[in-house]
Structure formats: C-alpha cells, structure tokens
Structure 1
Amino acid sequence: MLQDMDVHSLRERRFGTYHHKYTQRDLILYALAVGCTTKEDLQFLYEAHEAAAPLPNSMGLSLMPAADQASVPPEHAIVVSAGRGGGDSGIRRPPLGRLVAVTPFPTWGIVAAHPALMGVPLEQYIPGFDKNKALHGEQWMQLLAPIPASGELVSRPQLVDVQDKGKGKGVVAVVRTTTSDALSGRVIAINEFTVFALGAGGFGGSWPPAHRPPGAVSDATPPNRPPDFQAQTTTSIDQAALYRVASGDWNPLHIDARAAKAAGLPCPILHGLCNLGIAARLVAHQVAGGDASCIRSIKARFASPCFPGETLHVQIWRAKDVPASALTGSLQLQRFVFEVFVEREGQGRVVVVKNAAVELARGGWQCEQGCKGQGEAATNWVSRL
C-alpha cells in the first residue's frame, strides 16, 4: 500500500530516462500546430529568418567557410550562401557561411518531456488508478537555457507528490521531469505534470508536502478588474489532427469520434497542451511584441475541454514581477496572468484554461553570461530536489 512506502525514497527515485530526438522540421511543424503564421511568427517557421541567430558553440559546431561545411549534419543547421549567377533575387541572406536555425517555440520544452510521463507507473502507487480515467489537469514549465534547434533532449521523471482527495473523489499526482541537452549536459527545462486520477481515492495515502518550485504552486487568479489585454483566434477544425502529429500525442480522443463518444464527449477534443501553446502565442503578441522566445515560464490548469473549430478568447492581466531566484539566477521576470474561454450556444462563456501565468525575460537569450549564470543556479537547485 502507498502509505507503507518510504515517501522520501520514492521521491528520490528516478524512473529511467526518455530520449527525444528531433530536427528543425519537428520544431516548425509544432509551431504551425499552435497557430504560428509566416506573417507574424517567421522566426519559428523559417531557419533563415532575418533575426536568425548563429548556432551556439555548445552544439559543437564551428562557423566555417561555406565551402567547408559538408561535414556539418544537415539537420543541425541550414547553410545560407549566395545565389549563383551573381543576380540579386531580393532575398535578404545572412552572411556567407553563417549557420542559422529556426527559433524553437518555448512550449516545445513541454512536448519534448511529455512522453517521459509514461515512464512513471502510477498504478503501482495509486490504488484504483485507471489510465483511461486519468486527466492532464495542470502544467508548469520553467525554461533554464535555450532549447537547441535540433538534437537530442533527455528527460528524467520523478514522482513528487500524491494527494488523496477522498473515496471516489480522485487522486492528484505530480510528476516532475528534468530535461537536459544530451550533447552538452546543460539543464534546459523543468516540467511538472499534474495528473487527476478520476474514480480513485479513499486509501489514506496522501504524502507530506513536497518541495516544489514557487512558480509551480503560485496563485494565478486574475484580479477583480477588466483585463489589460485581450486577444482571440479561431482554431481550425483540423487543429487537433495537426497537433497530434506535431506533438506525438496519439490519443484517439483527439481525432476518433468513436473514442470521444465512449468517453462521453460529443466529438474529439483539442489537446490541452495545444490550447496552452496557442494561448502562449497570443499572450506574447499582446505583451511582448510577438516575441514568444522571451517566455521563461508558463503554468495553467485545464478547466474544461475545447473542441477544434472553436474560438479561443484570451484575457491577460499584468501581475507583480518575479524577483531573482535560484531558478532565474540574476534575472527579474515580468509576470502576466491569463484565462482562456470559449463561447458556446446554450452555455455562454466556458473557461477552458485558468490559473494560468507566463513569466517573460526581455531581450531573449542574448546574454551568454546571463544564461550561464541562470543555468548554473538552476542546476544547483535541481541537484537539491
């Protein structure tokens, strides 16, 4: 039984590792799946966009003349060189021989770690756990370093909290993943996935309070005043079909009408993480000039299903800035809280994402020393978990 286990030892246990290999193609497909457009979000869709940054030295690549770049793996970068014939096509190209890359959309840091959740056998620790009745209830992610434009990320999951809500009232489990770059070893992101196990509970197995990051447990209730910013976008009827391919979440609930009906739903639903990615983009366009790459942290609670084709309305409020901490290093982050709702005939306003917040760092990852300091502080914090 869960209550007979050594909770401290279980929290320390690592349930193997998950290796996620990807290329720029995967990043571009994901960006399209969360609504990025060539008109407004080219940096997430085109490897040679005007603001493309040279690949960092941490990738083990050197900047060399274009003629010598045959040894560079094509999935790591695109070599942009002058066109033949001496004519000017009108296309603005980066300097000859410069290695450039698409900018990863920040919530990709969740997608890369999500499959690691399957490595934690919750049924062994939660009596009555049924994976078919398990819901992804909340999500928190903290980025600690730039996501590489391609390569391999390694995620290590651990079970950090289990709370029994009572007989038949469900169980809340929190799985944390620490994701690192396989090449450099640098910690890229920390995620916490909160799972609601419906139908379970009543076994008296709640754990003592866990040591969790402040951002993961912070209150993100909107203030009692009109929002400072608002935005909306209409999802495609095929949004879930695209997102399942882009994210690797093949749950038939998001595409198969029969599976949806069996679950008591009128039709397939949109992934909660797709909603979150779309919302992150809309928030960035309202408060950061469209530069979603400045997002350092995001959290949300998935309050209700959303259906492909619905219009997502996002309301955003300024919140108190986040001071420097062990996770942010010397950075002070700007914080905004937000909610996402849809309008349905006969139901009116239905909130689909709540208790949500983003934390932004202006200037992107331009300061290598700042990134290094933040990464070292975060690594030290992770080692104490």
Structure 2
Amino acid sequence: MMPIDLDKALSADSTTREVSWTRRDVLLYHLSLGAGRDAATDPELGYTYERDLRVLPTFAMVAGQGPSAGDGASSGPELPGIDIDLRKILHAGQALQVHRPLPPEGTATVTSRVTDVRDKGKAAVIVLEQAATGDDGKPLWTTSMRIWARGEGGFGGPPGPDTETSVPDRAPDYVLDAPTTVEQALLYRVNGDLNPLHADPEFARTAGFDRPILHGLASYGILAKTLVDGVLDGDVTRLTGLSVRFAGSVFPGQTIRTGVWRQDGGLALSATCPERDDAPVLSHATAEVRS
C-alpha cells in the first residue's frame, strides 16, 4: 500500500452520484430500527404505514442503498489519494444535518469529497463530507463521516483538533431505553450494509467479537427515533442535526440507554448498554432541534 497522499486527497475533485428511494425503503428503515414492535398496542403508523408516512431524518444515511437499489447499492466511499487496507478502517463518528424534511420517496444528487485527513500517529482520521440536493436544486442534507484507519498514521499530516464534548454535570433530563431484538442486525442489513460482521458468527469471531454486532448506524438511527418519540413529541421535523462518536458495540438483543440533557441550542446525549454495566455506545453526542 502507498502512504496517504494528503495533497491529492484534499485537492481531488468531488464525486457525484444519483440516488433514489421509495416508500418501501423508508418503511424498511423504520422497521429495522424497531418501529411497530408493539403492533398490538401501538403500530406506530406514522413510521410503518405508507399513508401519511413521516421520515426519520437519519434515513439520509441509507437513502439509495435499500431494496429499490437492487444489487447496485454503493459498496463504500471513494477516497482519492488514500490507498488503505479497508479491513483496518472503523466508522469512528457521524454527523448529519437535514436542511428540510425528507420526502417519503424521491431522488437526490449526492456530492462527496474528503475534507480533512488527520495524522494521529498510530492511525489516520479521514473526514468524508457528503451533500445532497433534491430535484429542485435545493439542499436536502449534509453528512460528515469520520473514518478511523488503524496503522495508517505517520504520513506527516496535522493531528487536527481534539474536540471534547461532555454532558452537563447533573442528572439527565430524560433517561430513555430502547431495547433491540436478536434479529435486528439481520433486518438492518437489508438497508444496504451487508458487512458479514453483522450476520456471520464465524466472521464476527475472527474480528474479535463473541457474536455478530449491531451496525453503528443502526444505533445512530435508534438514537434518533428515541429522541423523536421521547423528547420531540413524535415530530420528526424537529430533529435537524445529530452528531455522535461511536464508542462501543451493541449485541442484538441488548438495550441502548440514552441520557438526554437540554441545553442552549439543542440536546447533549450519552448512550450506554445497561446489560454491560453501562458500557458506552455513543459519546460526544449532540442533537440540534427545532422548537
């Protein structure tokens, strides 16, 4: 492998692709996050029925990758100037900002570019930004994905800022539990991320896990649904931004417990797994909300 070419990575032209999605893609996404689980008492029709369907903003993370994409879903981000072993990369963090409510079906143009590469010594942190616009040319969403590449540091780049985001030193305003189910990772995979780490026990053991783990972006989506349902009165349009650092894994069937602190400009968040002595799941987390 060639070392990271910082100049090439940061000066490369943006890449552009067209994505589209249908109501079925949205319904699947919501179901894979646990919507409608208690259908006998609350089918959550706003998430699970195509009439008057509302769309969680984090659907942007899988738009264009679900069943309607067939086998042509994206296999991963393009990283010009960064020739690394993909087995060494971890999804370290994710931020999303939605500029208007997402439609239940539609098309978008997604432009991607590497905006930063940080040299952390033993690893590199690659920041990939994606911006989506609708058919009308107006912005739909912007995402920032932070990729941790083990063993790829030492290329001579800047280390970047050490951002410290902590929750307030007081009890949370809300503590919200979101149980997951044993088959949840298998269902979430159908949104487009078919990494065997989330399905194949033998593959998971070779990666150092006792069994398959839940996708980080599944935890991210569950967090979004938890906030909408538990804090934002079920109004998906009030959640306009969500930024997290992936701090630990969740095994399907375990619980994601979220502490929520109200603060100026939004919410501070922390997610843990109570079945593992409140081991961290999502940290350095904040949400932007509309009043």
1:294 matched to 2:238: yes
* Equivalent runs, 1:220-231 vs 2, <5 Å: 220-231=165-176
TM-score, with normalisation over the residues of structure 2? 0.88
Would the alpha carbon gap of residues 161 and 292 (structure 1) be closer, same or farther in structure 2, given more than 3 Å must change? same
**Counterpart position of 1:234:** 179
Match of 1:353 among 272, 282, 287: 282
2:115 to 155, 160, 176: 160
Q: Which residue of 2 aligns with 1:141?
A: 96
| Larger gyration radius, structure 1 or structure 2 | 1
Q: Would you identify which runs of 4 or more consecutive aligned residues in structure 1 move more than 6 Å?
A: 113-117
User: Structure 1 residues 278-287 or 112-121, which shifts more?
Assistant: 112-121
Match of 1:373 in 2: none
> Structure 2 stretches of 5 or more lacking a match?
66-72
What is the Cα deviation at residue 173 of structure 1?
A: 0.4
1:199-214 matches, within 5 Å, as: 199-206=151-158
Residue 36 of structure 1 and its aligned partner are, at CA, apart by 1.7
The question of whether the paired residues in 1 share the 8 Å contact of 2:79 and 2:114 is answered with no
Deviation at 1:255, TM superposition (A): 0.5
1:291 to partner: Cα distance: 2.0
Matched, 1:173 2:126: yes
> Per the alignment, in what secondary structure is the counterpart of residue 76 of structure 2?
helix
Indicate the residue corresponding to 1:45 in structure 2: 48
Q: Distance in 2 between matches of 1:154 and 1:3?
A: 27
SS in 2 for 1:268: coil
1:105-116 matches, within 5 Å, as: 105-112=56-63
Equivalent-residue separation in structure 2 for 1:112 and 1:295 (angstroms) = 18
Matched residue, 2:30: 31
Shift, 1:280, TM fit: 1.2
1:26 Cα deviation after fit: 0.7
Q: Cα offset for 1:222?
A: 0.6
1:280 to 2:224 alignment: yes
Q: 1:320 deviation in Å? A: 1.1
Once the two structures are superposed, residues 272-293 of structure 1 have per-residue CA deviations (whole angstroms, 9 ceiling, x without a partner) of: 1100111111122222112233
Write out per-residue CA displacement over residues 198-234 of structure 1, whole angstroms, 9 at most, x where no aligned residue: 122112133888xxxxxxx975421111101011021
Mapped pair 1:151 → 2:106:
yes
Change (3 A) 1:43 1:257: same
* In 2, Cα distance between equivalents of 1:191 and 1:219: 20
**Does residue 264 of the first structure (1) align with residue 208 of the second (2)?**
yes
Deviation at 1:262, TM superposition (A): 1.1
- Contact 2:9 2:82 survives alignment (8 Å): no
C-alpha distance in 2 between matches for 1:298 and 1:208:
21
Q: What root-mean-square deviation, in Å, do the aligned CA atoms of Structure 1 and Structure 2 show? A: 2.3
Aligned pairs (5 A) from 1:314-353: 314-321=258-265, 335-344=266-275, 348-353=277-282
Corresponding residue for residue 63 of structure 1: none
1:118 is paired with a residue whose SS is: coil
**5+ unaligned residues in a row in structure 1: which ranges?**
53-101, 210-216, 322-334, 363-385
Correspondence 1:121 to 2:124: no
> How far 1:125 moved relative to its partner?
2.6
Percent of aligned positions with the same letter in both sequences?
A: 31
> CA deviation digits over 1:315-359, x for unaligned, max 9?
1001112xxxxxxxxxxxxx0111111134xx5220111111111
What is the count of residue pairs matched by the alignment?
A: 278
